[in-house]
């Protein structure tokens, strides 16, 4: 029993101490800063220091208790923070590399073939390098030698030989030339063509044998010469061409113009303007086109992809202002033509020309009154012509022409026709074989007694051989069954060989 008062005393003393400690802590929290400590007495300061020491001891005891208590585990996930650098991540799974490809087996033959191919390639590269060097030299030479950046020089030279083989015309062989040099200048969006020409070659049909009834005639004349022999150089064609629209081409001609300067003559394999194709003027193009010559203007307009219209007017002596001459009062020819494309490389055309004091230049002397002293001759000329490409190696063509002529002494009717056949690339690339049968312009009826007395035929064959890009040789032969459409004349055979150089 003596122990109980002691235990109770201790317990009560502890409780009182705890309450006092709590009260002291609140008091300490409200104690002013050190700067005001002088306001307290010495016993009070000692009591405060004791209480602070006890407070620190209790705080250390609580810290030890917290350290001994382990927190409850609520998850199997690792408690390490993502920023914990001491934790080592698991190593990646090893990746097995793909098996290495098997080494291809190369034979000795394959190695030799590769070596040979390399050698050939090296040789080709050397050749190309050589050609490039040569081309550079040529370009440099051209740059040094060119005389104009706007003008192109081109030309042709025809060497021709001709002679009568049989008949009433001279069988002497003549050799001559036609030389042309052209300057093509790009001016104002158009092309100015200036052609210099010299002709030096006579014609067999202009030289009948003595003692015969044969007469000089336009029939059988060659396509590259009009019989001039003096070789005088003069300005021949002088024209300016420009596009009025994408469909319209205008040609202004100052000298020596012809229908083919502004229209299609619908005879592609025969009409080479003397340089190529047929060897006679009659076979070169339908005779109706020869009534258009001189100076003037022409227009060629495409209506659509298959149809075009040509119009033109040329005066024979437009440069002469004398009475009865000039642009409108002298000889002239006016043309209107409609051409229709009927297939690949095939065309058909209807042509009308009105001419005054203008001859054909082909046919009998009666059909060309102006050349033989006639005057005041007016003609209405109608023509239909076509060319049809039946295959790449064969083409048929032809024409028919009718003329109503009013001349001194009465009206006349003049007819001409022809059928043509052409074989391009015959016997070699670029070669051409051609054949024609027809009748040159012939007066079939007349009011003044100038009717031709016989319907003579013109037969012609030629073979053009392409030697290279700049040289061709064309032998040909012409047969006139009744020269000058005269019943009293005998048939004539005229031979010719033409060599053409172009540059």
pLDDT at position 484: 94
Look at residue 24 and tell me whether its pLDDT is greater than 50.
Answer: yes
Task: Say which residue, 142 or 117, is predicted with more confidence.
Answer: 117
Dihedral sign for Cα atoms in the order 189, 147, 154, 179: positive
pLDDT at position 339: 97
pLDDT at position 120: 87
pLDDT at position 114: 86
Which pLDDT band holds residue 83 (cuts at 50, 70, 90)? very low
pLDDT at position 141: 76
3-state secondary structure of 327: helix
Task: Say which residue, 149 or 299, is predicted with more confidence.
Answer: 299
Which one, of 298, 431, 440, 426, lies nearest residue 363 by Cα? 440
Which one, of 239, 256, 261, 378, lies nearest residue 310 by Cα? 261
Q: What is the rounded average pLDDT for all residues in the chain?
A: 85
pLDDT at position 23: 53
Task: Say which residue, 68 or 106, is predicted with more confidence.
Answer: 106
- In this predicted model, what pLDDT tens digit does every residue of 370-428 receive, in sequence order? 765 566 788 999 999 999 999 999 999 999 999 998 877 678 899 999 999 999 999 99
Which one, of 387, 378, 377, 382, lies nearest residue 424 by Cα? 387
Q: What is the DSSP string of 435-485?
A: EEEEEEEEEEEESSS---SS---EEEEEEEEEEETTEEEEEEEEEESSGGG
Task: Say which residue, 39 or 425, is predicted with more confidence.
Answer: 425
- In this predicted model, what pLDDT tens digit does every residue of 210-267 receive, in sequence order? 888 888 999 999 999 999 999 999 999 999 999 999 999 999 999 999 999 999 999 9
Look at residue 33 and tell me whether its pLDDT is greater than 60.
Answer: no
The owner of tokens 């201790």 is 10
pLDDT at position 97: 66
pLDDT at position 146: 64
- In this predicted model, what pLDDT tens digit does every residue of 481-501 receive, in sequence order? 999 999 988 999 999 999 999
Question: pTM (2 decimals)?
Answer: 0.71
Helices 42-68 and 3-29 pack at an angle, to 10 degrees, of 100
Which pLDDT band holds residue 287 (cuts at 50, 70, 90)? very high
Average pLDDT (356-364) is: 92
Average pLDDT (202-206) is: 93
pLDDT at position 85: 43
Rounded distance between C-alpha atoms, residue 375 and residue 380, angstroms: 16
Phi, psi of 48 (to 5 degrees): -65, -40
- In this predicted model, what pLDDT tens digit does every residue of 150-198 receive, in sequence order? 889 999 999 999 999 999 998 899 999 999 999 999 998 999 999 999 9
Average pLDDT (25-35) is: 47
Dihedral sign for Cα atoms in the order 354, 358, 359, 360: negative
Q: How many other C-beta atoms lie within 10 A of the C-beta of residue 408?
A: 10
Q: What is the DSSP string of 148-188?
A: -SSEEEEEEEEEEEEEEEESSB----EEEEEEEEEEEEEET
- In this predicted model, what pLDDT tens digit does every residue of 443-470 receive, in sequence order? 999 887 788 999 999 999 999 999 999 9
3-state secondary structure of 9: helix
Which pLDDT band holds residue 201 (cuts at 50, 70, 90)? very high
DSSP run (H or E) holding 142 = helix 108-145
């Amino acid at each position: 029993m003596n122990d109980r008062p002691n235990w109770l005393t201790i317990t009560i003393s502890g409780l009182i101490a705890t309450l006092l400690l709590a009260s002291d802590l609140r008091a300490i929290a409200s104690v002013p800063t050190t700067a005001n400590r002088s306001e307290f007495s010495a016993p009070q300061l000692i009591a405060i220091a004791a209480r602070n020491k006890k407070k620190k001891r209790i705080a250390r005891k609580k810290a030890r208790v917290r350290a001994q208590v382990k927190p409850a585990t609520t998850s199997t996930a690792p408690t390490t923070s993502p920023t914990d650098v001491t934790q080592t991540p698991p190593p990646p799974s090893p990746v097995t590399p793909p098996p290495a490809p098997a080494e291809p087996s190369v034979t000795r033959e394959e190695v030799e073939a590769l070596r040979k191919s390399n050698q050939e390639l090296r040789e080709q590269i050397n050749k190309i390098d050589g050609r490039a060097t040569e081309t550079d030299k040529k370009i440099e030479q051209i740059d040094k030698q060119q005389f104009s950046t706007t003008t192109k020089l081109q030309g042709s030279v025809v060497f021709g030989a001709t002679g009568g083989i049989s008949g009433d015309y001279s069988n002497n062989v003549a050799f001559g030339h036609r030389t042309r040099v052209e300057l093509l200048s790009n001016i104002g969006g158009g092309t100015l063509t200036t052609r210099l020409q010299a002709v030096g070659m006579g014609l067999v049909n202009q030289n009948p044998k003595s003692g015969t009834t044969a007469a000089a005639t336009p029939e059988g004349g060659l396509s590259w010469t009009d019989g001039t022999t003096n070789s005088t150089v003069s300005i021949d064609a002088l024209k300016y061409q420009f596009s009025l629209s994408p469909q319209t081409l205008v040609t202004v001609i100052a000298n020596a113009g012809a229908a083919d300067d502004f229209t299609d003559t619908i005879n592609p394999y025969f009409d080479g303007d003397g340089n190529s194709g047929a060897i006679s003027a009659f076979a070169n193009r339908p005779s109706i086109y020869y009534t258009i010559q001189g100076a003037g203007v022409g227009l060629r307009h495409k209506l659509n992809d298959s149809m075009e219209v040509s119009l033109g007017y040329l005066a024979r002596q437009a440069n002469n202002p004398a009475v009865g001459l000039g642009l409108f009062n002298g000889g002239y020819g006016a043309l209107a033509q409609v051409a229709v494309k009927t297939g690949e490389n095939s065309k058909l055309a209807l042509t009308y020309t009105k001419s005054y004091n203008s001859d054909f230049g082909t046919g009998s002397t009666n059909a060309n009154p102006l050349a033989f002293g006639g005057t005041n001759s007016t003609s209405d000329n109608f023509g239909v012509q076509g060319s049809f490409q039946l295959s790449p190696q064969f083409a048929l063509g032809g024409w028919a022409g009718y003329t109503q002529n009013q001349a001194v002494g009465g009206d006349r009717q003049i007819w001409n026709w022809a059928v043509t056949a052409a074989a391009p690339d015959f016997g070699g690339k670029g070669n051409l074989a051609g054949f024609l049968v027809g009748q040159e312009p012939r007066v079939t009826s007349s009011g003044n007694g100038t009717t031709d007395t016989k319907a003579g035929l013109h037969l012609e064959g030629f073979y053009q051989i392409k030697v290279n890009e700049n040289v061709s040789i064309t032998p040909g032969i012409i047969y006139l069954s009744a020269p000058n459409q005269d019943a009293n004349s005998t048939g004539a055979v005229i031979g010719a060989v033409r060599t053409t150089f172009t540059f």
